[in-house]
Amino acid sequence: MKSYQKLRTAHAAARLEEEGAAPLPSGRGRLAPCWVGSGLLVAAVLLSTVTVWVLRQVSGGWLGPTPPPKCLLVPESQRFDCYPERRVVVTQELCESRGCCFIQSPPLAEGKQGVPWCFYPPDFPSYALESLNQTALGMVGVLVRREKAYYPRDIEKLRLDVEFETDTRLHIKITDAANPRYEVPLDVPRVTKRAENPIYSLNFSWDPFGVLLQRKATGAVLLNTTVAPLIFADQFLQISTSLPSKFLYGLGEHRDSFLHSLDWNTLTFWARDVAPTESFNLYGAHPFYLLMEEGGNAHGVFLLNSNAMEVALQPAPGLTWRTIGGVLDFYIFLGPDPNMVIQQYQQVIGFPAMPPIWALGFHLCRWGYGSSNETWQTVRAMRNYQIPQDAQWNDIDYMDGYRDFTLDSQKFTSLPSLVEDLHKHGQRYVMILDAGISSTSPHGSYWPFDEGLRRGLFLNTTKGQPLIGQVWPGFTAFPDFSNPDTHQWWLENLQHFYAHVPFDGVWIDMNEPSNFMDGSEDGCPPGELDSPPYTPAVLGDSLSAKTVCASAEQKASVHYNLHNLYGLMEAKATASALVRIRGKRPFLVSRSTFPSQGRYSGHWLGDNRSGWHRPLLDLFGIPLVGADICGFSGSTSEELCTRWMQLGAFYPFSRNHNTQNEQDPTAFSPAARTAMKDVLLTRYSLLPFLYTLFHRAHLQGDTVARPLFFEFPRDVATWELDRQFLWGQSLLVTPVLEPGVDSVTGYIPQGTWYDFYTVRNPCLSPEPSHPCPSLPAQGSSLNSSGEMLKMSAPLEHLNLHVRGGSILPTQKPGTTTGVTRGNPLRLIVALSSHATAWGDLFWDDGESLDTFEKGNYSYVVFNVTQVGCGGEGRSGGPMAPGHLELIIFGVQKPPSKVLLNGQEKPFSYLDNQVWPHFRVPFAGRGSPC
């Protein structure tokens, strides 16, 4: 929502008056939501009426004439915006010309949004449900509007399709009953059987039409769209709903708190190249939200629509979807816990790809190395200090004139030798590619453009000529990745470059697509694609702001429909090409993203600045995600970069990248460098655990880095926490996010927790003859009832806690994932209060395609009970190294002996209830108890 008191220019007001629609005739009375108690409604009405009367007396009448009684019946928090246009002076005359209520509210501070002055009355005309019939999968209905709405080309008759797809998934789709409309070309599951025992009940309001969805177990109303009218015009689609609580998450990509504010907050979805800034539309579009209900249940809603969109949040609590094209295609996921909601969402959009193991190592990059020799020097320095590193990257420096698929023959002439050296040391090389293809080289000198032009593979203007914009190399054309022929051309370009520089992964950037000019070198043509009747709250107030014209023509549709899909389509083409070229799992990260992106790429959060930020948490099915550690732009400090490296070591995708100034670990003092090295060694020791988490994400849509409330949904204290996170179920990360402190306060959920760093004790040496010194006091178990705890956090320390009941597979860390994988396995067993624990390990060769699908893997489940412990699994592929070390936390008294498959084994025991060490052969099965 916006504040209507933020008046703009008289010119804007005059323009709107010229374009304003005639007043609407009054419609039928709206049905009151059936779940609202009459006493509550009357109280709200009386309070609203009295408040308005008092304000009018105090203000001396500045609020204007007294509104009709029906308008005073609407409480402020439930006023749904009837005039969302920005840059407009909204007057009473303009508002009432739409048949809406006009009540001014007190002014707010500049930049703040508030209660809308123009809002829908209870009797505003909407659609009526004319017919509803049963189908094999659900229902089909017809919606009819008998009075025109105020946006042009409103559609009088709509088709309603309802499919009860599973017991926990409902599909509701509303589209034009007479004419086909653009729909997102996303592969979604097609069901053949109606759900037999859904955990939800669905009802409809017939006139006006509305959807009422409830959870059977609790009666909670998850959707109630009768709160505001449905509008369905050719370029303006709007539907609103009440929400059962204020705890709303998702709706990316925006720089915002993890828990969204419902205080008149608007989030916009239109991919845009802009450094992450609050209140702006950023690189990706993910119209999906998760909401926590009272009692700890959760549900999610996904609008499958790729057009420019905004979601308006208000304190009712309520939500309004507005989009300017396509159809209203909703999936609702009933959970009931938040983990299950995310899994059900990914059952629709697709589970993420399994990354190669080296993708989970530490990556290093800088825009400004200047030469391949300078890049090489950084790699050597990392090796000299024995700091873990799996991949070295280059930004656009390596290119000749910033042109894709070229190499600067002066400054980067030794790049092939650098890549060869990386490969000899078990490391990888990743290069950047931008979306724009240089269009200014002499004919015959730049094959990518010449061949793309010959084949007709670029976005075209409405006149059928390639649309020319401007990016780093100067004037550029933009590949049309909606065209399958472009995928072949893209493959050929990558093959040609790979023959000179055998890269291991690709980083696709500037793919919103970014454009340094608005639209094209010739601007954009007049028309309702580039200047629609309604433009969502996009940065720049234009769909073409720093991107291409919405009217640009592509193979599948106009760019107006495909803009938010550009990064996804490029990622799909790039992943396919990498498989063809290397024959291994592809590795790539993309800046622009859309639902299902995780099937093809990871994601980094763009051009972030150095500063003290919260951790990132992913709800969108892209588990391989991370921010540029220490910040891409701006000046970091040694303290900031050390703390950020500690946090970034636990990003699922861990990369230090910046512009110009050095900020890799070798650039700092010995103390800071040691702290960074130590936390990276911790990450590498946990690679078996992390890799297994990614397997579970690939197999069933589990999250890797998850918020605390995913594991503790009944603990309301966790619902607002976004300064801590978990790896899977088991590892709690509490980073320091403030300067100048040596302690951190974090929430410890109910249960038994153990300080992870106990296992860094020399007792974990592969040689059991080494003595075990006394462990620090924090090595003992911490039994929490769910409380905030102040923890020591000197600059060299990151607080990590292992959850009781968990078994973490780890390894002695090396400087690359390859070295680490050759080291012995270590199981960290953290006993629960009931002396039980569980964990698992997925193991394959780390890079081959479809190892799980082909059965070329080993999977072991470890468990501990009060009477023993063991491992069960299957082995059809590579096994972990041939011996295992076991450390158990929480043993209450010394055991008399330890047996492995009936044979007694040596062990040691410490008196702080930590049983740290014995060494046993690893065979996939066995009970070391």
Domains 127-180+202-239+246-349 and 706-767+777-921 share a fold: yes
Sheet holding 221-224, edge to edge: 200-206, 209-215, 221-224
Give phi and psi for 42, each to the nearest 5. Answer: -60, -40
Which residue matches tokens 């105020």? 150
Give percent of the chain above pLDDT 70: 86
CATH code reported for the domain at 127-180+202-239+246-349: 2.60.40.1760
Residues, the chain? 929
Tell me what pLDDT residue 105 has.
Answer: 82
Tell me what pLDDT residue 135 has.
Answer: 97
Give phi and psi for 487, each to the nearest 5. Answer: -60, -40
Radius of gyration of the chain (CA): 29
Tell me what pLDDT residue 888 has.
Answer: 85
Please give the residue that has the higher pLDDT: either 613 or 825: 825
Beta carbons of 576 and 491 less than 8 angstroms apart: yes
Tell me what pLDDT residue 879 has.
Answer: 73
Mean local confidence (pLDDT), 504-509: 98
Tally DSSP H helices, then E strands, for the chain: 16, 47
Beta carbons of 775 and 910 less than 8 angstroms apart: yes
Give residue-wise pLDDT tens across range 827-844: 999 999 898 999 999 999
Question: CA-CA distance, 280 to 297, in Å (whole number)?
Answer: 31
Mean local confidence (pLDDT), 623-649: 93
Tell me what pLDDT residue 64 has.
Answer: 59
Beta carbons of 448 and 405 less than 8 angstroms apart: yes
Surface-to-core class of residue 897, CB atoms within 10 Å of its CB (0-12 exposed, 13-18 middle, 19+ buried): exposed
Under DSSP, the state recorded for 881 is -
Question: Which helix (DSSP H) or strand (DSSP E) does residue 496 occupy?
Answer: helix 484-498
**Interacting residues of 519 by C-beta distance below 8 A, sequence separation 6+:** 469, 530, 544, 547, 548, 549
Beta carbons of 844 and 877 less than 8 angstroms apart: yes
Question: CA-CA distance, 162 to 177, in Å (whole number)?
Answer: 14
Tell me what pLDDT residue 922 has.
Answer: 44
Beta carbons of 733 and 689 less than 8 angstroms apart: no
Under DSSP, the state recorded for 397 is G
What is the band of 912 on the pLDDT scale with cuts at 50, 70, 90? low
Please give the residue that has the higher pLDDT: either 279 or 47: 279
Three-state DSSP state, 630: coil
Q: Is a pLDDT exceeding 70 seen at residue 923?
A: no
- Lowest-confidence segment of 75-79, 105-109, 166-170, 491-495 by average pLDDT: 105-109
Give residue-wise pLDDT tens across range 754-790: 999 874 443 433 344 334 333 333 345 789 999 999 9
**Interacting residues of 362 by C-beta distance below 8 A, sequence separation 6+:** 387, 388, 389, 390, 391, 649, 654, 655, 656, 680, 683, 684
Q: How far is CA 231 from CA 23, 435, 532, 537, in A?
A: 16, 36, 16, 18
| Domain 706-767+777-921: CATH class, spelled out | mainly beta
Beta carbons of 507 and 430 less than 8 angstroms apart: yes
Give percent of the chain above pLDDT 90: 77
Give the per-residue SS3 of 649-706: CCCCCEEEEEECCCCCHHHCCHHHHHHHHHHHHHHHHCHHHHHHHHHHHHHHCCCCEE
- What is the per-residue burial (b if ≥16 Cβ within 10 Å, else e) of 448-481? bbeebeeeebbbbbbeeebbbbbbbbbbbbbbbb
Give residue-wise pLDDT tens across range 649-689: 999 999 999 987 889 999 999 999 999 999 999 999 999 99
What is the band of 527 on the pLDDT scale with cuts at 50, 70, 90? very high
> Quick check: bond before 75 cis, omega within 30?
no
Q: Rounded to the nearest 5 degrees, what angle is found at the Cα of 354, between the Cα atoms of 801 and 705? A: 25
What is the band of 869 on the pLDDT scale with cuts at 50, 70, 90? low
Under DSSP, the state recorded for 78 is G
Please give the residue that has the higher pLDDT: either 609 or 458: 458
What is the band of 874 on the pLDDT scale with cuts at 50, 70, 90? low
Neighbours of 510 (CB within 10 A): 23
Q: Is a pLDDT exceeding 90 seen at residue 182?
A: yes
What is the band of 634 on the pLDDT scale with cuts at 50, 70, 90? confident
Identity of residue 66: T
Question: Which helix (DSSP H) or strand (DSSP E) does residue 898 occupy?
Answer: strand 898-900
Give residue-wise pLDDT tens across range 316-371: 999 999 999 999 999 999 999 999 999 999 999 999 999 999 999 999 999 999 99
Please give the residue that has the higher pLDDT: either 700 or 67: 700
- Lowest-confidence segment of 36-40, 262-266, 863-867 by average pLDDT: 36-40
Q: Is a pLDDT exceeding 50 seen at residue 881?
A: yes
Tell me what pLDDT residue 152 has.
Answer: 95
Tell me what pLDDT residue 47 has.
Answer: 42
Per the rule left: phi > 0, alpha: psi between -120 and 50, beta: everything else, 375 is alpha
Question: For residue 478, which of 493, 463, 468, 464 has the smallest C-alpha distance?
Answer: 468
- Work out the mean pLDDT of the chain and round it to a whole number: 88
Tell me what pLDDT residue 4 has.
Answer: 27
Residue 239 forms beta bridges with which residues? 321
Tell me what pLDDT residue 910 has.
Answer: 67
Q: How far is CA 552 from CA 48, 448, 460, 562, 919, in A?
A: 48, 21, 6, 10, 65
Neighbours of 781 (CB within 10 A): 23
Tell me what pLDDT residue 108 has.
Answer: 66
Question: For residue 567, which of 496, 507, 635, 646 has the smallest C-alpha distance?
Answer: 507
Three-state DSSP state, 71: helix
Question: Which helix (DSSP H) or strand (DSSP E) does residue 101 occupy?
Answer: strand 101-102
- Fold of the domain spanning 69-119: Spasmolytic Protein; domain 1 (4.10.110)
Question: CA-CA distance, 318 to 225, in Å (whole number)?
Answer: 10
Q: Is a pLDDT exceeding 70 seen at residue 555?
A: yes
Under DSSP, the state recorded for 623 is -
Question: CA-CA distance, 904 to 793, in Å (whole number)?
Answer: 41
For residue 641, what are its two tokens?
């970069």
Tell me what pLDDT residue 40 has.
Answer: 34
* Residues labelled catalytic: 509, 512
Domain boundaries, the chain: 69-119, 127-180+202-239+246-349, 706-767+777-921
For 683, how many CA atoms within 13 A lie in the half-sphere containing its CB? 31
Question: CA-CA distance, 623 to 346, in Å (whole number)?
Answer: 12
**Interacting residues of 679 by C-beta distance below 8 A, sequence separation 6+:** 645, 646, 649, 798
For residue 525, what are its two tokens?
């043509």
Q: Is a pLDDT exceeding 60 seen at residue 232?
A: yes
For residue 152, what are its two tokens?
């042009």
Tell me what pLDDT residue 616 has.
Answer: 66
